[in-house]
Each structure stands twice: as structure tokens, then as C-alpha cells.
Amino acid sequence: MNPYTVSVVLPLYNPKGTWAEGFVQHVRNLNAALPAERIRYIVVHDGPAAPHVVSTFEVIAEVLPEVHFCQYHANRGKGFALRHGVRASQTEYTIMVDFDFPYALENILTVLADLQLGTDVVVGRRSSDYFSNLPLKRKLISRGYSLANQLLFQLPVYDTQSGLKGFNRSGRAVFLQTVIDRFLIDTEFLLRAARQRLRVGVIEVHLRPHVTFSNFGWKVLRAETRNLWRLVRLNRELHRRYRYGNAELASEPGVMAGERGFR
């Protein structure tokens, strides 16, 4: 029997600085805020982790046995890491959040509360104070993707890139249908959830004080632009599949024509 009621999936890649103390404190804060829940923390390092990272998590697990650390042989992208962690979650509710817990604790509590009230998927929409803290290039990219979502897709929220999302078992099953390995997994997931008529809730999320952000590299931006156009094709396939209920559109089990080639 699974002793946990909630899973928190946290993607990670080459952490810098004194990250361990902050992570432990965030785990303790969330545990204290939800005393009625048994929370399992699934930390997924995107690729092979340095020995000091592995040893640090071994020490953390001695103090906080609910923290589970995993890694795999090659860097694949944030989307792949999230899918890896969600596949390991076996609880009624799953919450995905960035490793440094950049959002206010109240936002995470609201996600879980909305799920417990019957929402299938809860998505964070970044507030104006969030965008004011982004580096200029990242802010422009985020605004550009939001505009593209508005023009190309009919989604419950156009700002799909918030690092805070949660879902129940129905949402988990849809998330595991995704195939994108990078950042646009968020858009793909919401496309699939909306087309399959899951109940999607949106909350506004706010940053904790003193949170800083890194910038996107141009290589990532080029790859995500290609994925955006592939999502346009996928969107057409999903409309056809769920509008007419035609399960034979997939030429392979679980794979539609518009889904191939995502990275």
C-alpha cells in the first residue's frame, strides 16, 4: 500500500551554490503547512549528476526519507525529466514545481486544495510581479509564446510556462501521453487536457522574495520554435480524434502523426 497521498515532482540540472539548505527548508515548510498529508518528493536530475550532488541527496534522505532522488544516463530536457518523475508518482495528487520552489507557499497549497475539490488539472498563471523579475530576453520569449498560444490554440490559459502545476490521476494519465522533451511540454499537456475535456483550473502565482532567474540559450529557443509548429499539427490531430471519437487515427499505439519528432 502506498503510504503517500501527494507527490511533488522537482526537475533539477547541475545545481549551483548552497542549494541543499534551501531545498531542505522548503520541504520542511511544505510538510508543516500540510500536516494531514504524506508527501513524497521526487527529485529528477536531467542527466547524470555530479558525485557531490548524489552524495548530498544521500545525506538529505537520511534526514528526510520522503525525498527520492533519481537520474538517468543523458541530458534530455525539462519535459523528459518531468515525465520521468510523474511516471514514478503513484499518489492521488501530483504537483510539479521548480526545484528552488520559486512560488509563494500559499500558491502550492491552493493547487492542492483545488485538486481536492475536484479539479483535474490546476495551472499557475504568472503574475505581473513575476514578469517584472524576468531577464529581458526571457521576458520577451515568454510574452511571445503566450501570444503564439493565443493565436494558435484555444487553451484555458495562454501563459503556459509557469513552473507550478498539479493534477489528479486523470491529469496524470494525460501528462504521460506527452512526448515533448523540453519546455513546451507545458503547452502540449494543456492542449491534450483541454481536448480531452479535463476540468482545468487556473490560479495566479507570485514569486517568493529574492528569487533570481537564468536566461534561455538560443539553441533552446530554436528547438522550442520547431516544437511550437509541431504542436500546431498535433492540435489538428487532437481536434479530429476527440471531436469525432476516432481512436484509429493513431498509426502506432499512443502515437499520432503530429506527435513524432518532438525533442
pLDDT band at 132 (very low <50, low <70, confident <90, very high): low
Please give the backbone phi and psi of residue 236, each rounded to the nearest 5 degrees, phi first: -65, -40
Give the three cell numbers for residue 200. Answer: 482545468
The pTM for the full model equals 0.83
The stretch 3-25 carries a mean pLDDT of: 96
66: exposed, middle or buried (Cβ count in 10 Å: 0-12, 13-18, 19+): middle
Q: Name which of 35-44, 204-213, 216-225, 244-253 the model is least confident about.
A: 244-253
* Ranges 3-7, 52-56, 92-96, 242-246: which has the least confidence: 242-246
Q: What is the per-residue pLDDT for 213?
A: 57
Buried b vs exposed e over 124-156: b needs ≥16 C-beta within 10 Å? bbbbeebeeebeeebeebbeebbebbeebbebb
d(CA 74, CA 251): 29
CA pair distance 81, 85, nearest whole angstrom:
6
What is the fold of 6-259? Spore Coat Polysaccharide Biosynthesis Protein SpsA; Chain A (3.90.550)
**pLDDT band, residue 208 (cuts 50/70/90):** confident
The residue-averaged pLDDT of 181-200 equals: 93
8 Å CB contact between 152 and 229: no
All three cell numbers of 101, joined, read: 520552489
Here the cell at position 59 is 545525506
Weakest-pLDDT range from 25-29, 101-105, 118-122, 253-257: 253-257
Q: How many residues does the chain have?
A: 263
The pLDDT, as a whole number, for residue 159 is: 78
Average pLDDT over residues 181-191: 92
